Structure 1
Amino acid sequence: MTTTIHHDQALNWFVRLSDADAPEAAWLDFQAWLEADPDHSKAYDLIEQVWVALDDDAPANVVAPIAANDAGPAPRGQWINRAWLAPMMATAAAAVMVVGLWPEISGEGRFTTYSTDDAPREIVLSDGSRLSINRHSDLRVRIGARDREVTMAGGEVAFDVTHDASRPFVVKADDHEVRVLGTAFNLLDHGDRFSVGVTRGLVAVSGRAMPQTVRLSVGDQIVHDGAAAPVVSHVDPEQASAWRDGVLVYRDTDIGTIADDLSRYLNKPVSVSESARALRFTGALRIGDEATMLRQLQDFVPIRATRENDGIRLTARGAG
């Protein structure tokens, strides 16, 4: 169980990182603190939960949790009075425990739907956040007074989120959730494939099939295909959203993943034969029409692309 010392440290980190001008070194130090002890992560998660749950319209005696265990929400008896939350955040005072109920988090504002077809789109939200929406993407956005939420129905978006500690920014994609305060990251949600790559700041990724929340800092990337466990790796931060510059960058990537990308860009199924599954590719493909992208792939990889029914099949060159 987390201790009062851990909660005090978590509060100090929350206050420090609420500064929009917090340097990159502070985020790196924070990441090191999180990784030093599992209880650090639990304590910080609870501070974020308290902040999100704070509702100025709620009665002063409504309370929010200040402790949790691995099984889920905090048990009764480990709560903090919401009326003391603001000065606690300002002074990082020790938590006070009282008994109460979890406040209902009210949503505000309406969702606005954004969809793209064969061309990407750039939008600026009312909070100043910028979204670069890749082709064949669908999402809904709601900017409220207490929180900001994006629900993706599929596709790819590069987020540049305006820092606002009072309004956490949450992106939901199928069974996954990404939480940030102010950062830049790329999120892909296509079929069973989900990935997040961070170019600035820090994000927390959680999911129904993930054993625990994963925090990513600059250059970190998480990939989850639904069946296997999530894989976290370190990549060039600019690679995460290279598609905005008209290229797809790969490093020792299997053909199945490239086929999945092609199916999104060409808007048709691209399958891989057994003969080609072992092939891998390192390099860049220029985004273009079907003929251009298939020609590049065949120039770089010993593969043959043939059209089958309404889709495309990739086969190793020389295979029957």
Structure 2
Amino acid sequence: MNDMTMPRSASEWITLLSDEPDNPDLRARHDVWLESSAENRVDWDETLRVWQMLDMTVPVHVAEWQDGIEQVQPTVAREDRVTAMPDADPIATVRGRRAHPFWQRQLSLGLSGFALVACLLVFAVPGWMIDLNADYLSPTGEMRVVELPDGSMLHLAPDSAVALDFAGDERQIELLRGEAFFDVVPMADRPFRVISGETETTVLGTAFDVRRGGYGVDVAVEHGRVRVEHTRGDRPSELGAGDMIHVGLDGSFVRQTIAPELVAAWRDGRLIAKDQSVAEIVETVDRYFDGWILISDDALGSEPLTGIYNLEDPKKALAAVADAQGAVLREISPWILMLSSK
């Protein structure tokens, strides 16, 4: 490892130290990084805590760097606990996730300026159409909190849109784009439904997160219970506190677990990715960047990644993603960034 490949975040250090636990030079460099600033120490302590919540293996020498994180102990390496539902497509996952091609944003580096702008306009037009049908919108990089007609609370992630139907006994929200966290007031005779494409999430009273993207729908529960179903899925799935489910575009279900307090971490400015593809991570970061983020090839976009990223600094988050994949982040213009293999 040289200075050009020196990790810049705690999640990158954890990955390297776990892969090379007996590398003295690596551990010495980590000591230097850890002591170089109070910010690095806070990042390291918090990342270790979250890493264990995600049930990820922490470095075997973690005790050497403990500072206010005595609760964190090395976990025993385990087989991946991500499991598909019994009837899910067995080839549909990359560490539990479908590796869809990042066709929505795949552009050649050789495109002329005119062709590049034309392509970007093609992708932007559907967003304008969604905005016309939305009751509530949130701009790029900004969250929005709304009290719904029934007293439930809606937290909209940046660049997200919803349409409401609360007529009569209905309590239904359509997530048109992006991500939202719902804290629902219990009403036994009025179920609360969130529609996201062909996926429907139904609750009576609970707090949960729904994310809709180009690779399917993700639902995570902070507390309470929800039922998730897909129009082409075999049967509904029940989720409780700490349960997550990824609903693929084909209706396949892939379940995971997460510490309930990490659900919708975007409300605190953090993206916590657990075995997500680079393309899925970029899709989330893109909602915080006032411009376009492109990936040069499908292979890079489908690579799985686990990490903690600062959504308040999209460029820094993307640079960390690039470093973790041995890729490079290029700034084509102040409003166009591209991830590409070296």
TM-score category of the 2 structures, normalised to the smaller one: 0.5 to 0.7
Residue of structure 1 aligned with 2:181, choices 149, 158, 179: 158
Query: Is 1:141 matched with 2:169?
Result: no
The CA deviation at 1:134 is 0.5
Measured in 1, the distance between the counterparts of 2:317 and 2:165 equals: 35
Partner amino acid for 2:274? R
Which runs of 5 or more structure 1 residues have no equivalent in the other structure?
1-110
Partner amino acid for 1:291? K
For residue 282 of structure 1, what is the aligned residue in structure 2? 306
- Equivalent pair of 1:135/1:155 in contact (CA under 8 Å): yes
**In 2 relative to 1, CA 190–251 (structure 1 residues): closer, same or farther, beyond 3 Å?**
closer
Secondary structure of 1:210's match?
A: coil
For residue 40 of structure 2, what is the aligned residue in structure 1? none
Residue of structure 1 aligned with 2:221, choices 192, 198, 203: 198
Secondary structure of 1:177's match?
A: strand
Measured in 2, the distance between the counterparts of 1:295 and 1:253 equals: 17
For residue 174 of structure 1, what is the aligned residue in structure 2? 197
- Equivalent pair of 1:262/1:270 in contact (CA under 8 Å): no
Partner amino acid for 1:212? R
The CA deviation at 1:175 is 1.0
Partner amino acid for 1:113? D
Which runs of 5 or more structure 2 residues have no equivalent in the other structure?
1-132
Measured in 2, the distance between the counterparts of 1:277 and 1:296 equals: 15
Partner amino acid for 1:134? A
Residue of structure 1 aligned with 2:238, choices 205, 215, 219: 215
Partner amino acid for 2:228? V
Measured in 1, the distance between the counterparts of 2:214 and 2:273 equals: 20
For residue 236 of structure 1, what is the aligned residue in structure 2? 259
For residue 70 of structure 2, what is the aligned residue in structure 1? none
- Equivalent pair of 2:228/2:236 in contact (CA under 8 Å): yes
- Equivalent pair of 2:215/2:280 in contact (CA under 8 Å): no
After TM superposition, the score normalised by the length of structure 2 is 0.55
Query: Is 1:114 matched with 2:139?
Result: no
Query: Is 1:224 matched with 2:224?
Result: no
Measured in 1, the distance between the counterparts of 2:251 and 2:236 equals: 16
For residue 262 of structure 1, what is the aligned residue in structure 2? 285
**In 2 relative to 1, CA 254–191 (structure 1 residues): closer, same or farther, beyond 3 Å?**
closer
Q: Give aligned pairs, total.
A: 207
The CA deviation at 1:274 is 4.9
For residue 187 of structure 1, what is the aligned residue in structure 2? 210
Q: Between 233-242 and 139-148, report the one with greater CA deviation.
A: 139-148
The CA deviation at 1:207 is 1.2
Measured in 2, the distance between the counterparts of 1:205 and 1:176 equals: 7
Partner amino acid for 2:202? R
**In 2 relative to 1, CA 166–173 (structure 1 residues): closer, same or farther, beyond 3 Å?**
same
Query: Could you list the per-position Cα deviations for residues 179-231 of structure 1 after superposition, in whole angstroms to 9, with x for gaps in the alignment?
Result: 11000100001224211001111111111121111111111111123047221
Measured in 2, the distance between the counterparts of 1:278 and 1:166 equals: 43
Secondary structure of 2:264's match?
A: helix
Measured in 2, the distance between the counterparts of 1:206 and 1:133 equals: 22
- Equivalent pair of 1:259/1:272 in contact (CA under 8 Å): no
The CA deviation at 1:298 is 3.6
Measured in 2, the distance between the counterparts of 1:227 and 1:259 equals: 22
Secondary structure of 1:166's match?
A: coil
Secondary structure of 2:245's match?
A: strand
Structure of greater Rg: 1
Query: Is 1:271 matched with 2:281?
Result: no
Alignment of 1:96-107 (within 5 A): none
The CA deviation at 1:262 is 2.5
Query: Could you list the per-position Cα deviations for residues 128-158 of structure 1 after superposition, in whole angstroms to 9, with x for gaps in the alignment?
Result: 2111100111111233442311012111000
Bigger relative CO (Cα 8 Å, ≥ 6 apart): 2
For residue 291 of structure 1, what is the aligned residue in structure 2? 315
The CA deviation at 1:253 is 3.0
Secondary structure of 1:276's match?
A: helix
Measured in 1, the distance between the counterparts of 2:165 and 2:238 equals: 24
For residue 68 of structure 1, what is the aligned residue in structure 2? none
The CA deviation at 1:275 is 5.3
Query: Could you list the per-position Cα deviations for residues 52-100 of structure 1 after superposition, in whole angstroms to 9, with x for gaps in the alignment?
Result: xxxxxxxxxxxxxxxxxxxxxxxxxxxxxxxxxxxxxxxxxxxxxxxxx
| Identity %, equivalent residues | 27
